[in-house]
Structure 1
Amino acid sequence: MHDRMRTLKQVALAGVCVMSLAQAQAAVPEECQTVRFSDPGWTDINVTNAITTTLLEGLGYETSIDLLSVPIGFKSLQNNDIDVFLGNWMPAQQTFADQYEGGYERIRANLEGAKFTLAVPQSVKDAGINSFSDLDKHAEKFDKRIYGIEPGAPANNLIQKMIDADEFGLGDWRLVESSEQGMLSQVNRAARRDEFMVFLAWEPHPMNLQQDLAYLSGGDEYFGPNYGGATVYTLTRNGYTETCANVGELLNNLEFTLDMESEIMGAILNEGEDAGEAAQQWLSQHPDVLDTWLAGVKTVDGEPGLPAVKQHLDAR
């Protein structure tokens, strides 16, 4: 009799364990257990993706990041091929936001006070180049070139639109498309040689700390007021935060700062650190942000998220 009772208890305990495991696995729908991100190849989005994926991995999620141009990223959201895009710079991406309206959801602003427009080395400004309207007066010194970033970037489209419209007398100028790193290498060379160069610049970015640069005024019609003052938003595919409510909670909590992003970007660009390593190091040094970011957020198996992420960071 005693053995039979013990056997029944073991069966019951096993049943409880199986039920607990099933409940844990059911805490997050299977389709939500891998979170798919888009990255247009910009270091600032490398940073915010790395921060967010580090947190998610600490919560027990799998993550993936696809390198996609902005328009392809919007299309991928519409097609449910990706889940999250942390790099919706507005108003620069207004054209794509309008084109794919209804094909994504805007969750919240994740960065305020960003800016981007054309800039020159400070030595060029000192020579009298203060605004867009000054460029063509010194066209030969600039070799009639404006340096942008990767092909397909909305900012490049703005520059090309300006050239096509012959704004500021720039109709015979040429947009030079390159990678972010290629453009910045050219900026470094021009600054060392005191050469004239006009290029796309933005903040957050360590270029603002490393380069003595000057943003040009007068481009409000194309880049917006306040030197292209921008807000960066988090987007998801339609219905994502309803289906994947726990990740949605995290995304609703995430808000970054200019200094934070520039600091981590500096570790990547200047010290050669991997984005994930740089993000993990920053999070370990600034654990206070976790209280806000992980408020109400659970692990994949439904446990409190904050201690799990702290343990994950300590173990790396």
Structure 2
Amino acid sequence: MKFVSRCVLVWLLALTGYAESATEAQCQTVRIGVVDWTDLHVVNGIAKSLLEQLGYRVELSNQPATPEVFSQMQQRNIDVFMGYWTPAMVEVAAPFYGPQDVSTLTANLDEALWTLAVPDYVYEQGVHDFADIARFSDKFEGRIYGLEKGSSGNAAILEMISSNAFGLKDFKLIETSERLMLAQVNGRVRKGEWIVFMGWKPHPMNQQFAMRYLDGGDQYFGPDYGKATVNTSIRKGLEQECPNLARFFSNLTFKAAIEEEIMQKTSNEFVPVDRAVRMWMHRNPAQVSAWLSGVKTLTGQPVDAQMMADEMEVTFGR
């Protein structure tokens, strides 16, 4: 009887493992939301490289702005978004969080900030505060350079303009992509021309340009130069349907130094994102191990983090 009981126990454990594996297999395609931000490309690249090593298939779903990402999550077309900045995006996200179609899984970075910035030579000539911008309207050509349409940063700038905060009623917001905005900054800095633009950390712009963040924008971007937390959002049901994925994304937290080191490779040394993140992970197996703590492969097997880190470099060679 003891032998039979043990056999039954083994069978039940095997059946349970099979059921968990079968359930997780239904989650084998992971759809990650993308907006064209350098920092988001890096963290998405880290997630994609690790998930593929675990046996998952990853789809990066490009969207024009954050409202579209949250809308697609609400419709269950996107599973995860690792670029929800708070408090800056709370108002944008509220309609999708309200019905509980989208929720926050974890904070993945707590060292972020964003607010208006200028080149250091502009700062040295008297632009220290939001209240200084309008005094130099001619030098700025009446323009403030923002991000893509729908950005919460743009919404804050438009609110300042429409309410004539800081005397900005005659200014125009230039809505464009991060890449094109930074091309404008680069071009004007080379010529010593004036520009005021959306700046943030982490981002390699902080090493690429000698720039200063402006005081006085607390009402619109928050205190301490728009100090922010970046969060990982998930669609409704992901934690229950795909617990291994939920564990993985809960583990996937970052330091600004990690992101900026990889972004330096992608932005200024033109290393492709997938290569840059794999090179970094190969050199930092302890961090890979932390990200994969308690995580299994798609088929339910334990993970050898050191082996995965080694394989990152094997993929590309030295």
> What TM-score results when the alignment is normalised by the length of structure 2?
0.90
1:303 alignment partner, SS class: coil
Note the C-alpha offset of 1:31: 2.7
The one of 100, 103, 111 equivalent to 2:101 is: 103
Residue 56 (str. 1) matches residue 54 (str. 2): no
Note the C-alpha offset of 1:25: 9.0
Note the C-alpha offset of 1:26: 3.2
1:81 alignment partner, SS class: coil
Equivalent residues, number: 298
Note the C-alpha offset of 1:61: 0.5
Percent sequence identity over aligned pairs: 40
Note the C-alpha offset of 1:263: 1.1
Note the C-alpha offset of 1:108: 0.7
Q: What is the distance in 2 between the residues matched to 1:255 and 1:276?
A: 18
Q: What is the distance in 2 between the residues matched to 1:277 and 1:175?
A: 36
Q: Which residue of 2 aligns with 1:75?
A: 71
Structure 1: unaligned runs, 5 residues or longer: 1-15
Q: Is the 8 A contact 2:85 2:229 kept in 1?
A: yes
Residue 313 (str. 1) matches residue 312 (str. 2): yes
1:110 alignment partner, SS class: strand
Q: What is the distance in 2 between the residues matched to 1:306 and 1:235?
A: 27
Residue 205 (str. 1) matches residue 203 (str. 2): yes
Opposite residue 59 of structure 1, the aligned amino acid is L
Q: Which residue of 2 aligns with 1:254?
A: 252
Q: Which residue of 2 aligns with 1:154?
A: 152
1:112 alignment partner, SS class: strand
The one of 172, 176, 197 equivalent to 1:178 is: 176
Note the C-alpha offset of 1:206: 0.5
Q: Is the 8 A contact 2:83 2:231 kept in 1?
A: yes
2:304 alignment partner, SS class: helix
Q: What is the distance in 2 between the residues matched to 1:81 and 1:244?
A: 15
Q: How well do the aligned residues superpose, as a CA RMSD in angstroms?
A: 1.8
Opposite residue 75 of structure 2, the aligned amino acid is N
Q: Is the 8 A contact 1:25 1:300 kept in 2?
A: no
Note the C-alpha offset of 1:279: 0.9
Q: Is the 8 A contact 2:282 2:310 kept in 1?
A: no
Question: Which shifted more, 256-265 or 188-197?
Answer: 188-197
What is the CA deviation profile of residues 29-73 of structure 1, one whole-angstrom value per residue up to 9, with x for unaligned ones? 333101000011101000000001111111010000011120010
Q: Which residue of 2 aligns with 1:121?
A: 119
1:280-291 equivalences under 5 Å are 280-291=278-289
Q: Which residue of 1 aligns with 2:294?
A: 296
2:26 alignment partner, SS class: helix
Note the C-alpha offset of 1:252: 1.1
Q: What is the distance in 2 between the residues matched to 1:82 and 1:133?
A: 41
Note the C-alpha offset of 1:270: 1.0
Note the C-alpha offset of 1:190: 1.5
Note the C-alpha offset of 1:107: 0.6
Q: Which residue of 1 aligns with 2:133?
A: 135
Larger radius of gyration: 1
The one of 204, 229, 243 equivalent to 1:231 is: 229
Q: What is the distance in 1 between the residues matched to 2:129 and 2:260?
A: 25
Question: Which shifted more, 131-140 or 272-281?
Answer: 272-281
Note the C-alpha offset of 1:271: 1.6
What is the CA deviation profile of residues 98-142 of structure 1, one whole-angstrom value per residue up to 9, with x for unaligned ones? 121222110110001100000000000000000000000111111
Note the C-alpha offset of 1:310: 3.3
Q: What is the distance in 2 between the residues matched to 1:97 and 1:185?
A: 29
Residue 193 (str. 1) matches residue 177 (str. 2): no
Q: Is the 8 A contact 2:279 2:313 kept in 1?
A: no
Q: Is the 8 A contact 2:23 2:241 kept in 1?
A: no
Note the C-alpha offset of 1:314: 4.5
Q: What is the distance in 1 between the residues matched to 2:232 and 2:244?
A: 15
Structure 2: unaligned runs, 5 residues or longer: 1-10
